A and B are shown apart, each in its own frame.
Chain A
Amino acid sequence: MAGAIAFAAHLAVYKNETPMEARTYTNFLATFLMISILIAVGQYRWRRLRAAVWRMRPLFTAAVLLLCAWELITAGWHWLPLPYFPSPAAVLQSMISDRTLLFDSTWHSLVLLLAGYFLGALAGFVSGVCIGWSDPARYWGMPLLKVIGPVPATAWIPLAMVISPSATLSATALIALAVWFPVTMLTASGISNTRASYLDVARTLGANQRYLIFRVAIPAALPSIFVGLFMGLGASFLTLVVAESVGVKSGLGWYVSWAQGWAEYGKVFAALIIMAAFFSTIMTLLFKLRDRVLVWQKGMIKW
């Protein structure tokens, strides 16, 4: 049962008594333990909760054990050099004490990321459909794509900083560029690989050009388009963090390098943890969107 989780958490609390500053961490673990116990009791009453608990149990236990190991190695036995590898307690402490700035940074990153991503995805979708569908667009677009596309968006940073009046604007453009390339590429390949027989069938049903593009080619290309969107998302994270740490004076990427400058590694870790949670949430949302849009592929997709 979830008792295993509770036990592991308890062990962590116990070991945690060594460092002095760790009031908050103790509280955190105590809360965690309480919730675990609540869930452990609750699962007897709600069947649906129980199924979820059973599925998550090994994963959860492992996560808690990992946390314990981290604590033992850093705070318990001091195996790792200190300023660089703080204990979980210290990380939690800096997360809480610096929460306003962290929240602010996350917000800035979110706005920048979403603006760049949507711009790039939209532009990539449009240019991908054009290149995939029309031969002249392919003739002129493909060489451009092949030359500009492979250059990492981050390589443009020096140039972008000079050209653009505002750092935020240029960062948005760079993220958009990073997203644009994979989305264009995969959209174009999806569109041009539309099964000819689908198009033939549609034409014998009386379809015009608009129907062929919007109701046959684009739906048929959607699985491929989503691959592009995922690749673009990865590229956008990378570009976001780099752009923030060198140009834009806000956001999580900036926060990490700023905290590093002050040798406050607790804050670095705190920002990294938030970044991980933040990026994986966005990734999950995209997966959810994919599952929704590609419901007709259910059972056929394996990623």
Chain B
Amino acid sequence: MVTSNFVAASALRVEEVCKSFPVLDVPGTSRPALGGISFSIAASELVSLVGPSGCGKSTLLRLIAGLDFPDSGELLVDEEKILGPSAARGLVFQDPNLFPWLTVRRNIEAGLVARGVLQEKRHEVDDFMRLVGLETFGRSYPHHLSGGMSQRVALARALINHPKVLLLDEPLGALDAFTRMRMQDEVLHLWENRRTTMLLVTHDIDEAIYMSDRILVMTSAPGRIDREIDIDLGRPRDRTSESFLRLRSEILEYLHFAGKAADVSA
């Protein structure tokens, strides 16, 4: 891992990024959402971003996706500045946001159509449908799918462009506990197979510990990276192991404290 850090530069680098939004009630003022965020992610790393709601996690993800722009600071993917949305950075939301007017197959193809490469890459569609276990649902429309299935289509749709970085904004947040755990394993499986760099925003500490190489803990108002926690547990991980639980209570305790501190300052 050490060598790879030297050989391959970080896949994603965020430097001193600040972003504030105007306060609509009071014209002329603005509320800082992100106050100088810096971190980097190595290629093929899976990093989680946790923090209280409203701390700017989603704002940060939108900046990395190129859907929004920072007030100051820099965002780089493979040492290239992010200038706008691109197929190189896939984004999966909590709501799968499948296009309801397209069948499952056409939803997965959407990225290829958008980039105008459907002709030469058509064969990959089947691979990706198989990869997420939906090969028999190609002709179904999204409203026939369950939440877990929809989210798998959304993952396949994002992955078919072979993004350098996959951004996941609480992708499993709306699923029930059992589907969620199964989907965590599926996402891990995809990650282990494809070694796509992933940045996962989540509310769920268990999910963060179970899945990621590293956890970035954010505090709110303004959003800052407060702490980085390396998860040194081997894979596959056991949610009930002693080390898992110790790590969990440690982080929870820390977050609780961080939350209080934020309240006092606000």
* CB contact between A206 and one of B87, B95, B141 (< 8 Å): that residue: B87
Cβ contact within 8 Å between B95 and A197:
yes
- How many Å lie between the Cα of A205 and that of B110 in the bound state? 7
Shortest beta-carbon distance from B144 to chain A in Å? 9
* CB contact between B101 and one of A195, A205, A220 (< 8 Å): that residue: A220
B86 contacts the other chain (CB 8 A): yes
Name the A residues within 8 Å of B143 (CB-CB).
296-297, 299-300
Shortest beta-carbon distance from B134 to chain A in Å? 17
Cβ contact within 8 Å between A201 and B93:
yes
Cβ contact within 8 Å between A204 and B65:
yes
A206 with B111, Cβ < 8 A, contacts A200-B67, A296-B141 known: yes
A215 contacts the other chain (CB 8 A): yes
Cβ contact within 8 Å between B100 and A296:
yes
Interface size classification for chain A: 20 to 34
- How many Å lie between the Cα of A200 and that of B66 in the bound state? 10
A219 contacts the other chain (CB 8 A): yes
Cβ contact within 8 Å between B100 and A297:
yes
A272 contacts the other chain (CB 8 A): no
Binary CB contact string for chain B from 187 to 198 against chain A (1 if under 8 A, 0 otherwise): 000000000000
Cβ contact within 8 Å between B141 and A202:
no
A107 contacts the other chain (CB 8 A): no
A211 contacts the other chain (CB 8 A): yes
A15 contacts the other chain (CB 8 A): no
A206 with B91, Cβ < 8 A, contacts A198-B97, A216-B99 known: no
- How many Å lie between the Cα of A211 and that of B89 in the bound state? 18
Residue of B nearest to A203 (CB): B85
Cβ contact within 8 Å between B91 and A204:
yes
Cβ contact within 8 Å between B67 and A203:
yes
Cβ contact within 8 Å between B87 and A204:
yes
Name the B residues within 8 Å of A220 (CB-CB).
99, 101
Name the B residues within 8 Å of A203 (CB-CB).
66-67, 84-85
- How many Å lie between the Cα of A220 and that of B142 in the bound state? 14
Binary CB contact string for chain B from 28 to 49 against chain A (1 if under 8 A, 0 otherwise): 0000000000000000000000
Residue of B nearest to A204 (CB): B91
Please tell me the number of chain B residues within 8 Å of chain A, measured between CB atoms.
30
* Beta-carbon contacts under 8 Å, A270-299 to B: 295-299
A222 contacts the other chain (CB 8 A): yes
Among A201, A203, A216, A295, residue most surrounded by chain B Cβ atoms (within 10 Å): A201
B222 contacts the other chain (CB 8 A): no
* CB contact between A204 and one of B101, B113, B158 (< 8 Å): that residue: B158
Cβ contact within 8 Å between A204 and B100:
no
Name the A residues within 8 Å of B102 (CB-CB).
219, 296
B114 contacts the other chain (CB 8 A): yes
A204 with B95, Cβ < 8 A, contacts A219-B101, A296-B143 known: no
- How many Å lie between the Cα of A201 and that of B91 in the bound state? 7
- How many Å lie between the Cα of A163 and that of B101 in the bound state? 44
Shortest beta-carbon distance from A212 to chain B in Å? 9
Cβ contact within 8 Å between A205 and B114:
yes
Among A203, A205, A216, A295, residue most surrounded by chain B Cβ atoms (within 10 Å): A205
Name the A residues within 8 Å of B86 (CB-CB).
204, 206
What are the nearest 5 A-B pairs in CB distance?
A206-B87, A203-B85, A205-B111, A207-B114, A219-B101
Binding site for B on A (CB under 8 A): 195, 197-198, 200-208, 211, 215-216, 219-220, 222, 295-300
**29 pairs across A/B with beta carbons < 8 Å?**
A195-B97, A197-B93, A197-B95, A197-B97, A198-B99, A201-B157, A203-B66, A203-B84, A204-B66, A204-B85, A204-B86, A204-B89, A204-B91, A205-B87, A205-B114, A205-B115, A205-B158, A206-B111, A206-B115, A215-B110, A215-B114, A219-B99, A219-B101, A220-B101, A295-B141, A296-B142, A297-B100, A298-B141, A300-B143
